[in-house]
Amino acid sequence: MEIFKQIAPFQAYLKDAKLAGKTVGLVPTMGALHKGHISLVETSKAHNSLTVATIYVNPTQFNNPADLQKYPKTLDKDVALLEKVGCDALFCPDNEEMYDHPSMLKFDFGQLDKVMEGEFRPGHFSGVALVVSKLFNIVQPHQAYFGQKDWQQFAIIRALVDELKFDLVLHSVPTMREADGLAMSSRNLRLSESQRQHADVLFRALTQAKEALVQGQEVRVVKKMVADMVNNEPEMKLEYFEVADRKNLTSLTNVKDASPAILCIAAFAGEVRLIDNLFVG
């Protein structure tokens, strides 16, 4: 696997590959890789003749400086995992390479970035859109791969691609889960043993909420059920649970009249913030 820390040699490598007729798949990550990330690489390898991953903890998408400081960094382990799965190249720049001067650019996605994550993490999606735009411009991939767990992020990147006419195909890859249903996440590394034992309540709550809604239960009743489930679990605190339209993320009061829907949840396990979602319909 080729490893690049600077843009110019990375782009030269990609230019040669494209001139040779290779299609390029991009897997953007912030490192601390797990099986979910590896599934993105494997999906890209199945679709493309060249797969490149990026590892960059983007500071502009963190509205909480402490969260940025505590974000896990495991580069040596990540490199070994990517080599094992057959990733062709890795781009892992530093902040000076990606932001050689303070950025003044801000993105606004209307409704998409004002709800759920956008409500509780102001500025987050503007930072995401900024770094993803940079990566799309640097790599100019044919296809790019993101995990379903960050569905609101995917919806915003989809809008970004449409608005700015990036010439690529986006893919959302299903969430990988632990045996108890907990969505795989780099943040799981920060969970204590006790917190880890209780964090599976997110998936249990989503599953029970889906069953109740499909059976015709009112959304307001289901929201209370989810809040009680999560908040009654030791060390867990619900931040939000929403029933939304999968495309535009508007809140729904009835899943049977909407197609398709998504259930989105965010909660704290101690100081560690976790998110998850589940499709309905």
Q: Is 149 annotated as a binding residue?
A: yes
From the CB of residue 110, how many other CB atoms can be counted at a distance below 10 Å?
Answer: 8
Of 2, 21, 184, whose CA–CA distance to 83 is shortest? 2
| 101 labeled binding residue | no
C-alpha span between 242 and 161 (Å, rounded): 25
**Residue 6, marked binder:** no
**198 is known to lie in a ligand binding site:** no
The catalytic residue among 37, 124, 142, 198 is 37
Strands 261-269 and 272-280, sheet pairing: antiparallel
Report the alpha-carbon distance of residue 39 to residue 35 in Å, rounded: 6
111 known ligand binder: no
β-bridge partners, 261:
245, 280
Q: Does the annotation place 215 within a ligand binding site?
A: no
Is position 37 annotated as part of the catalytic site?
A: yes
Helices assigned H by DSSP within the chain: 7-19, 35-47, 65-70, 75-85, 95-98, 117-120, 124-139, 151-164, 193-198, 201-214, 219-231
Whether 30 has a binding-site annotation, put simply, is yes
Q: Are 187 and 274 in contact (CB under 8 A)?
A: yes
116 assigned ligand-binding residue: no
Is 217 annotated to bind a ligand? Reply is: no
CB neighbour class for 168 (10 Å; exposed up to 12, middle 13-18, buried from 19):
middle
Q: Is 223 annotated as a binding residue?
A: no
Residue 67 marked in a binding site:
no
Q: Please tell me whether 273 is known to bind a ligand.
A: no
- Is position 36 annotated in a ligand binding site? yes
Q: CA Rg, the chain, in Å?
A: 19
Cα–Cα distances (Å) from 23 to 12, 84, 93, 150, in that order, read 15, 21, 23, 25
Please tell me whether 33 is known to bind a ligand.
yes
| Residues present in the chain in total | 281
Q: Which residues are annotated as a binding site?
A: 30-37, 61, 147-150, 153, 184-187
Q: Which residues are annotated as a binding site for (R)-pantoate?
A: 61, 153
Residues involved in catalysis: 37
Q: Which residues are annotated as a binding site for beta-alanine?
A: 61
Q: Which residues are annotated as a binding site for ATP?
A: 30-37, 147-150, 184-187
